[in-house]
A and B are shown apart, each in its own frame.
Chain A
């Protein structure tokens, strides 16, 4: 099949099983949301897909098992709830990070960073330090940083939940438009059903470590 396929993925921390044989598939270019109560294993599942958490089972892209690839070669981007921007780098250098890591030449890099700054509505913010940004601006930078190296799949872990309600509603629409614009295959984890409905094409529900159902977004 095309796109992302997750089969029987299990994540355990010692004796505690966070994700229990979860299965899901996301078509290329589709945006899927995973909704569930806190502690149901959503974040661990995203971590497994990104490769930053050890798991059993398989995660495939276009039929190829990503399991053997180290994190930095999987091509799965991850947007953290609190951004996790590099505090010692400016906005531009944060966004450029993935391009530097994958060896994109400087002129091309600068152009791509500029394009992303415009895409997330932060033109002119490039030389700012991270501590000069508001919460919403930080999440925009985090999104731009993850999109810059054009990941196969972008995983977003509660990307808006650290923001206040009004900003969240506005940014949800923005994020959806940006992901659509880039044609990115994405999985968004959230505990907010309304937010999922705005952002995603499909909504999967998760409970106690398992994907339990699907509803149209």
Chain B
């Protein structure tokens, strides 16, 4: 008689909430991915598969990802120490600056490195181009190392370090025997994430390497676009999924072996930098990472402003002309329009689906594993998403009409990529609402729908808008899936930029750099608008206090704060 696990229904939790998000992911992710697996298996047994090329691509991917992981740790860890273990004027700004690459589209970063090495012969030949790709991958992933390791390092109780020092350990020895083991779990997590990002980094490799450097992702694209061998592409897709699964398994293993739970301090103020020597060390720790981050972006801006007639807006003006077609049948303003409309649609649809999903999962603790399952699209490369959609949905979409159907595929693929991120942002906010607050609303006579509208939604609204901004930024910069699905006459800004970069002539390259700058600015603006930490909290509190004089505004201000 005592068996009753389910709690009474206070908030919306009907299956209908999960139906739309799951159906969407089913059609646009699960079925396409299964189609790749089936097609890949079938072709591997009997198709004409260029096995040696595939083996080369797999090797290249593993080597590049491993080297880039190592490089990110080597540059990222000293920078993390300087940013999180020592306080100095401008440190917080520097943290923000270091994490900027995180939000930059891959194609923008790739274009920046193209700009930085333009004219250097070594950079376009075999060993040199690898180095440039490596540098670009490290550029991205320093931010990952800093973001994952930084908070753990900042919270580390340094009394254990000092205990080692009083026992006779030198600073280096204490760091190696005390600090490093305490950070091992965070470092392992960061390394796994970096490796994953690098091994699925399509945009950087294809934009910098052209066709010369083939990874699993870029080879799949080449097989699709140039050799029209969808079977080989499917085999590569299967490989990609297998590599990601292996990486996840290894990361899990690493995390379990790094068994040291770090001792965390209650007080978390980093000590002030003291002494000239320590200041030198801080500078030395930051310069390599700082230079790698700043130089390409600066050169990108400079090159975008460089024309045959000197410095000016010539490249930007050219974008407005027919010269910007890039052989694609799309002008830059058209591509900008497509990108913006797509980003808006993706932000709205992915966020609404994610909000429904988060409400559903938060109300059903027994289904918490669904969140993990929802993260799967994040794991596989966006190339797999694009290829899968192309394999399964290109024909049904064309049946909708040549003008409409194919245009829907890019936003759909973007939503697949953005939805897991949106759920990850919104779910903690919905879960974070005290269950008793919901119970209070219910005992006051509010049914589930009203509880959602008057309590859950106001308290999750901020995270929801953040998620929307994130989705828009992701869509704006998305390249992997778009490269498979973009058609002549319907390019997005990143795919148009890629086409321009691939064409001869200084003007085309100059226009590509101009597009990259526009993309970077647009993405940064969206990220800044959506991130509440960028918005001064003071404005909200000022609103609240001034609202006391005006009762009718109090409610809205109260909601803001």
A residues at B contact (CB < 8 Å): 10, 12, 14, 17, 47, 50-56, 70-78, 80, 84, 86-90, 92-93, 97-98, 100-102, 126-129, 145-146, 148-149, 151
Within 8 A of A (CB), among B187-243: none
Within 8 Å of chain A (Cβ to Cβ): is B439? yes
Residues from chain B with a CB closer than 8 A to the CB of A128 are 548
- B binding-site residues for A, Cβ under 8 Å: 1-10, 434, 436-437, 439-447, 450-451, 454-455, 458-459, 544, 547-548, 551, 554-555, 558-559, 561
B200 to chain A, nearest CB (A): 40
Which one of A53, A86, A127 contacts B554 once the chains associate, using CB atoms below 8 Å? A127
State whether A53 touches B8 (Cβ < 8 A).
yes
Does A77 contact B559, Cβ atoms closer than 8 Å? no
Q: In the docked arrangement, what's the CA distance between A128 and B554, Å?
A: 8
Point out which of B441, B547, B559 has the most chain A C-beta atoms below 10 A from its C-beta: B441
Cβ contact within 8 Å between B439 and A56 = no
Given A12-B4, A56-B4, A89-B558, CB of A84 within 8 Å of CB of B437: yes
Tell me the bound Cα distance from A54 to B555 in angstroms. Answer: 34
A30 to B556, CA, bound (A): 40
Q: Contact between A102 and B4 (Cβ–Cβ < 8 Å)?
A: no
Given A54-B7, A55-B4, A90–B440 Cβ distance below 8 Å?
A: no
Known: A84-B440, A101-B450. A90 touches B558 (CB 8 A): yes
Q: List 18 A-B contacts (CB under 8 A).
A: A10-B2, A12-B2, A50-B443, A52-B439, A54-B4, A72-B442, A72-B444, A76-B443, A77-B443, A78-B440, A84-B436, A88-B459, A97-B446, A97-B454, A101-B444, A127-B551, A127-B554, A151-B443
Q: How many angstroms between the C-alpha atoms of A102 and B10 in the bound complex?
A: 16
Question: How far is B444's CA from A78's CA once the two chains are assembled, in angstroms?
Answer: 8
Identify the closest chain A residue to B457 (Cβ): A88
Q: Which residue on B lies nearest to A50, using beta carbons?
A: B443
Of chain A, the residue at the smallest CB distance from B555 is A93
User: Is the Cβ of B558 less than 8 Å from the Cβ of A77?
Assistant: no
* Assembly CA distance A10 to B559 (angstroms): 39
Task: Sort A-B residue pairs by CB-CB distance and give the 3 closest, nearest first.
Answer: A98-B444, A12-B2, A71-B442
Beyond the given A54-B8, A129-B558, please list 6 additional residue pairs across the A-B interface where CB-CB is below 8 A. A52-B7, A53-B7, A84-B436, A86-B437, A93-B554, A98-B446
Q: Pick the contact of B444: A12, A77, A92 (CB < 8 A).
A: A77
State whether B9 touches A70 (Cβ < 8 A): yes
Query: What's the nearest-Cβ distance from chain B to residue A148, in Å?
Result: 8
User: Are B443 and A71 touching (Cβ within 8 A)?
Assistant: yes
Using A56-B2, A86-B455 as known contacts, say yes or no to A146 and B443 having CB atoms under 8 A apart.
yes
* Interface contact B558-A88, CB-CB below 8 Å: yes
Chain A residues in 8 Å Cβ range of B441: 86, 97, 101
Bound state CA distance, A146 and B445, in angstroms?
Answer: 10
User: Which residues of B are found within 8 Å of A77, using beta-carbon distances?
Assistant: 443-444
Contact of B436 among A73, A80, A92, A129 (CB under 8 A): A80
CB nearest neighbor in A for B544:
A129
User: Are B437 and A12 within 8 A (Cβ)?
Assistant: no
A86 to B440, CA, bound (A): 9
| Whole-angstrom CA separation of A68 from B439 in the bound complex | 17
Contact B554 A70, beta carbon cutoff 8 Å? no
Q: Are A52 and B555 within 8 A (Cβ)?
A: no
Q: Once the chains are docked, how many angstroms separate the CA of A75 from the CA of B193?
A: 52
Give chain B residues whose Cβ lies under 8 Å from the Cβ of A97. 441, 444, 446, 454
Assembled-state Cα–Cα distance A86/B451 (Å) = 11
Q: What residues of chain B lie closer than 8 Å to A92, measured between beta carbons?
A: 551
Q: How far is the CB of B152 from chain A (nearest CB, A)?
A: 30
Give chain A nearest CB distance to B538 CB in angstroms: 15
Q: Which residues of B contact A54 (CB under 8 A)?
A: 4-8
Q: Which residues in A have their C-beta under 8 angstroms from that of B555?
A: 89-90, 93
Contact assessment for A70 and B558 in the assembled complex, using a CB-CB cutoff below 8 Å: no
- The CB with the most chain B CB atoms within 10 A, among A70, A92, A127, is that of A127
**Residue in B closest to A57 when the chains form the complex, CB atoms:** B1
- Are A52 and B2 in contact, CB atoms less than 8 angstroms apart? no
Residues of B within 8 A of A17 (CB): 2
What's the Cα separation between A216 and B247 when bound, in Å?
69
Q: Are A52 and B10 in contact, CB atoms less than 8 angstroms apart?
A: yes
Is there an interface contact between A51 and B558, defined as CB atoms closer than 8 Å? Answer: no
CB A8 to nearest CB in B, in angstroms, measures 9
State A85–B33 Cα separation when bound (angstroms). 47
Q: How far is the CA of A10 from the CA of B2 in the complex (A)?
A: 7
Given the complex, which residues of B lie within 8 Å of A56, measured CB to CB?
1-2, 4
Task: Note all chain A residues with C-beta closer than 8 A to B434.
Answer: 84
Q: What's the least CB distance linking A124 to chain B, in Å?
A: 11
Least distance between A128 CB and chain B CB atoms (Å): 7
For the complex formed, measure the closest distance between the CB of B295 and the CB atoms of chain A, giving whole angstroms: 46
CB distance from A44 to the nearest CB of B (A): 12
A72 B445 Cβ-Cβ under 8 A:
yes
Would you call B558 and A149 a contact (CB within 8 A)?
no
Inter-subunit contact A52/B442 (CB<8 Å): yes
Write the nearest CB–CB distance from B212 to chain A, whole angstroms: 56
Contacts of B443 in A (CB 8 A): 50-52, 71-72, 74, 76-78, 146, 151
Identify A78's interface contact among B439, B446, B455, B554, CB under 8 A. B439
Is the Cβ of A146 less than 8 Å from the Cβ of B8? no
When C-beta atoms are compared, the residue in chain B nearest to A97 turns out to be B444
Kindly report which residue of chain A lies nearest to residue B560, judged by CB atoms. Answer: A88
Q: How far is the CA of A154 from the CA of B2 in the complex (A)?
A: 26
The smallest beta-carbon distance between B494 and chain A, in angstroms, is: 39
Chain B residues, CB < 8 A from A127:
547-548, 551, 554
Given contacts A127-B548, A127-B551, contact A70 B8 (CB under 8 A): yes
* Min CB–CB distance A17 → chain B (angstroms): 6
Chain B min CB distance to A168 (Å) = 21
Q: Given that A52-B8, A56-B2 are known contacts, is A90 also in contact with B554, CB under 8 Å in the complex?
A: yes
Q: Which of B2, B439, B454, B455 contacts A50 (CB 8 A)?
A: B439
